Amino acid sequence: MTKKLTLVLLASATLLYAGKGKIRVASDVQGAYIYVDGKKKAMTGEGFTSILLEEGEHTVSVVEAISTQYQKVAHKKIFVGEDTSTKITLKPEKYEPTPEYAVKLKELDKPKLARWKKQGNVVIDIKLGLMWQDNSAAKSVKKKWKAAKKYCKNLSLVGHSDWRLPSYDELLTIVDYDRYDPAIMPSFKNVASSIYWSSSQGVSDAKYAWFVYFKDGYTDSSTKSNEGYVRCVRGNQ
């Protein structure tokens, strides 16, 4: 007897029961779409929805519409076979451009990609003559403000040791308000959707320093005793 492949897709709780040639979808979340191999198959709603599925490897996706520009997604490769029996969990939480906005982004990116050049562990701003750290540490190192300044001062990367914590104005130049989560220029590959320190202190209170929140480009100041991510820069000083 052919065994059934059971998948659990959570858009809060979406269940897929997959056997050879067919999947059945049940969800208490309405309005999310089920895609198989990039093709829209059904919308999650009340009760079960059956989708015909050929035996073999497939990519199953759950897509929740957020706006005309971005959607929340989860993807998973599965293999549906005669003797397959497995259970997986997917929770849509990654933001991706909608197909229509992805086309527009390609045009918006052309001048950005001409200005910003990814070279190994750094990104170079051709216009301003700045070199930015973009190794894996740029999305993992968190420090308090003074420790962040010291980290950059002691950083040795791609043969250079004259790194520093960027000013508030410099940090703003790498924000990309056409993007969301993360809101950073497309040449940068290592970024946390969180707070990054600048070297600029608060004007009225030296206990504070300015930061940029790279999930959406929001800016504010925070007490220096809090931790933030660190992306160092060099040049033009």
Q: Is there a domain that residue 104 lies in?
A: no
pLDDT band with cut points at 50, 70 and 90 for residue 33: confident
Domain boundary, last residue among 51, 72, 98: 98
Helix (H) or strand (E) holding 196: strand 195-201
Q: Residue 193, SS3?
A: coil
Q: Is there a domain that residue 21 lies in?
A: yes
191 and 88 assigned to the same domain: no
Q: Is there a domain that residue 108 lies in?
A: no
Q: Is there a domain that residue 111 lies in?
A: no
Q: What is this structure's pTM?
A: 0.82
Q: Is there a domain that residue 194 lies in?
A: yes
Alpha-carbon gap, residue 152 to 58, rounded angstroms: 45
Who has greater pLDDT, 92 or 134?
Answer: 134
pLDDT band with cut points at 50, 70 and 90 for residue 93: confident
Q: Is there a domain that residue 105 lies in?
A: no
Residues 6+ apart with CB under 8 A from 150: none
Residue with tokens 């130049």: 173
For 206-225, the pLDDT digits (tens) are 999 999 999 999 999 999 99
Alpha-carbon gap, residue 178 to 211, rounded angstroms: 19
187 and 89 assigned to the same domain: no
Asked whether the predicted pLDDT for residue 203 surpasses 90, the reply is no
Q: Give me the percent of the chain exceeding a pLDDT of 90.
A: 61
84 and 152 assigned to the same domain: no
Domain boundary, last residue among 98, 124, 147: 98
What are the backbone angles phi and psi of residue 104, rounded to the nearest 5°?
Answer: -65, -40
Tokens standing for residue 223: 């007490």
121 and 230 assigned to the same domain: yes
What confidence score (pLDDT) does residue 48 get?
Answer: 62
90 and 163 assigned to the same domain: no
Displacement of CA 129 from its chain's centroid (Å): 27
What confidence score (pLDDT) does residue 8 get?
Answer: 46
Alpha-carbon gap, residue 152 to 222, rounded angstroms: 19
Tokens standing for residue 229: 């991510």
> 134 is in which domain, residue-wise?
116-234
Number of domains in the chain: 2
Mean pLDDT (whole number) for 104-128: 97
Domain boundary, last residue among 33, 64, 98: 98
Alpha-carbon gap, residue 136 to 117, rounded angstroms: 17
List for the chain the helix, strand, coil content (%; round to 5): 15, 45, 40
9 and 52 assigned to the same domain: yes
Indicate which CATH number applies to the domain containing 68.
2.60.40
134 and 88 assigned to the same domain: no
DSSP code of residue 4: P
73 and 174 assigned to the same domain: no
Q: Is there a domain that residue 75 lies in?
A: yes
Indicate which CATH number applies to the domain containing 182.
3.10.100.10
CB crowding 25-54: b at 16 or more within 10 Å, else e: bbbebeebbbbbeeeebbebeeeebebebe
Cα distances (Å, whole numbers) of residue 191 to 142, 163, 209: 12, 18, 20
Q: Is there a domain that residue 106 lies in?
A: no
